[in-house]
Amino acid sequence: MARQERAEQTRKAILDAAASRFDAVGFLGASLSDILAEAGVTKGALYFHFKSKEELADALIREQFIVWDPLADVENPGLQTAIDLTQNMGHSLRTDVRVRAGIRLVIEQGSFVAPAANAYKQWNDTVHGLLLAAKAAGDVRKEVNAHDLAQYVVASFTGTQLSSQVLTGRTDLHERITFMWQTILNAVVPPRRLHKFDPAGTPPADTV
């Protein structure tokens, strides 16, 4: 096996193990020794890729943004794109331990040295851009402040996924996000345009 391929597999094993521990017990509860044991690697191998537990956490926080990838080719991004973004994130929270760990780390941002405020800012900025496009297209009422609405959407999603995690282990997260968007759409979209949007998210192309 080539050295570069071996190194990549080691890095993946470390990230997967760290995600598993952070998801289970949080940043403070996860020890490097537990991560090493789960990954099956040496301390030297870990420090070759990551200088500290904080650096591991930062890498996993960045993983959450992979949910943006399927939306990169959307021709006319707007309000439905924002809906799909949150529904994609909801799906990832149910199926991808790295994304779950990254979100938990962001929520627990006060627990470690470098708070993850930038992650919130990226989400707010992304949703804000989509809502500005929606407003320009006439899909959001003129009197609605797109910046304030973006912050409300991100905060609502955060609370929704936390409630779902606590109450059902996120088994009902899709339904909760759908209800969240039904409520938001009824409040901010002109009635004649409501039919354009699906709060449950756009089905994948191969299921249409």
Per residue in 131-177, pLDDT tens? 999 999 999 999 999 999 999 999 999 999 999 999 999 999 999 99
Could you give the percent of the chain with pLDDT greater than 90? 66
- Mean pLDDT for the chain overall: 88
- Mean pLDDT for 19-39 is 92
Residue 206: what pLDDT? 46
Sign of torsion, CA 37 41 42 47?
negative
Whose tokens are 């939306």? That residue is 71
| pLDDT surpasses 60 at 40 | yes
- Mean pLDDT for 34-39 is 93
Residue 74: what pLDDT? 78
| pLDDT surpasses 80 at 32 | yes
Q: What are the respective helix, strand and coil percentages of the chain, to the nearest 5?
A: 75, 0, 25
Residue 107: what pLDDT? 80
Q: How confident is the model at residue 5 (pLDDT cuts 50, 70, 90)?
A: confident
| pLDDT surpasses 90 at 117 | no
Q: Which of 154, 127, 121, 130 is nearest to 74 (CA)?
A: 130
Least confident of 52-61, 124-133, 155-164: 52-61
The Cα–Cα gap between 88 and 173 comes to 11
